[in-house]
Amino acid sequence: MYPSSGAITEVTIEADDHELICQHSTDVSHMNNPRDTLHFLLTRGAATRENTDNRLEVQRSNFHDSTVDVVATQHDAIAYYLGNLSARSELSEDEAYGLLIDAGVDMIEYEKWRNSFNRRRRANRLLADSKERVRHLGSAIDYAVLTGSCPIDGVKYNPSRRSTNPPEDVVAVAEEWRANSIDANSCYLLAFEALRTNAFEVYDDVRYCEGLAMASHPSRASTHAWVEVDNEVVEVLWKWDGPAPSDEAIYYGDSIPFEAVIDIANRRPTHASVLISDEQYFELEEVKRVMASRLFGL
């Protein structure tokens, strides 16, 4: 699988006896060195993996000049693929299913696999995924969530399972705001903008939150940001699971005072997790590219 930045504007799928190739045309005009095509290889799964004990494995790609994330099974890959479409494309879930069915994917079998996960199993999967990213990739954000640590002085961060049942009036406000807000594919930026623009000003308890989340398709857990109104999650990025998350979606995190978030945003060129220090933030490759562009026009 080959994740990239940018909104997905077109999807085509090709299949042969060995692999399913999903090609996405992406709008990445804001990047200096855009890659216009994003490939997902939904192959036979763990048969080509060196280590089948873990869900996460990083391998050198024979298809691109890069390293790629490889997941354990084709079901995992399909779920990860659908999660990307939910966050970054205008396709409906039914349209995405239709493309896969037309390419010969057994989506009935996939749905059986998906429905085998109850909430407890999903929550365990989310935490196990996060631990793998810390162990194998040294993920600073996952580490902060798992240990309940936060680099902001005076801020207590105590992550826990979050409730995902916002009332209808909150959902209506969120839908209207999202329809008229900035076109962005960053959960951190959208959650920030929701509070900055007072999208939920009629409610007394509105909070910026960060942590881990897994959408209704139970693949890879994500480091994520969202809004909570009266202690109920409001999803601002995932189109198929928002603004009112599905009962299948799992959120694990805590709120962070918005004044502290604003202070951090004012000294960083892009929006990212506030659970990492400035030193860790400026070591991120995407941040280095942005800084190089601003400094040298590269």
- For 117-156, write each residue's pLDDT tens digit: 999 999 999 999 899 889 888 899 999 999 999 999 999 9
14 or 236, greater pLDDT? 236
Helix (H, G, I), strand (E, B) or coil at 251: strand
Q: Is the pLDDT of residue 228 over 80?
A: yes
Domain boundaries, the chain: 7-116, 126-279
Question: What percent of the chain has a predicted confidence (pLDDT) above 70?
Answer: 75
Q: Is the pLDDT of residue 34 over 60?
A: no
Q: What is the mean pLDDT of residues 63-81?
A: 70
95 or 50, greater pLDDT? 95
The pLDDT score that the predictor gives to residue 232 is 98
Q: Is the pLDDT of residue 83 over 90?
A: no
The pLDDT score that the predictor gives to residue 45 is 44
Q: At what angle do helices 168-180 and 187-196 cross, to 10 degrees?
A: 110
Nearest CA among 80, 74, 68, 84 for reference residue 24? 84
Q: Is the pLDDT of residue 168 over 60?
A: yes
pLDDT in tens, 275-286: 999 999 998 888
271, 198 contact by CB (below 8 A)? no
Quick count: other Cβ atoms within 10 Å of Cβ 203? 13
Q: How far is CA 256 from the centre of its chain?
A: 19
Q: Please, which pLDDT band fits residue 85 given cuts at 50, 70 and 90?
A: confident
Average pLDDT of the residues of the chain: 82
Question: Which amino acid type is present at position 118?
Answer: N
The pLDDT score that the predictor gives to residue 214 is 94
Quick count: other Cβ atoms within 10 Å of Cβ 286? 11
Q: What is the mean pLDDT of residues 182-203?
A: 94
1, 57 contact by CB (below 8 A)? no
Strands 57-60 and 232-234: unpaired
Helix (H, G, I), strand (E, B) or coil at 154: coil
232, 170 contact by CB (below 8 A)? yes
Q: What is the mean pLDDT of residues 210-221?
A: 90
DSSP track, 51-91: --SSS-EEEE-SSSSSEEEE-SSHHHHHHHHHHHHHHHB--
Which conformational region is residue 148 in: left (phi greater than 0), alpha (psi within -120 to 50 degrees), or beta? left
Residues 6+ apart with CB under 8 A from 179: none
* Torsion sign over Cα 275, 5, 30, 280: positive
The pLDDT score that the predictor gives to residue 81 is 82
Q: Taking the model in full, what pTM does it have?
A: 0.84
Most confident of 131-135, 219-223, 291-295: 131-135
The pLDDT score that the predictor gives to residue 219 is 77
DSSP track, 208-219: EEEEEEE-SS-S
Q: Is the pLDDT of residue 1 over 50?
A: no
What's the CA gap between 282 and 278, in Å, rounded? Answer: 6
How far are the Cα atoms of 231, 235, 237, 261 from residue 201, in angstroms, in the given order? 15, 17, 20, 18
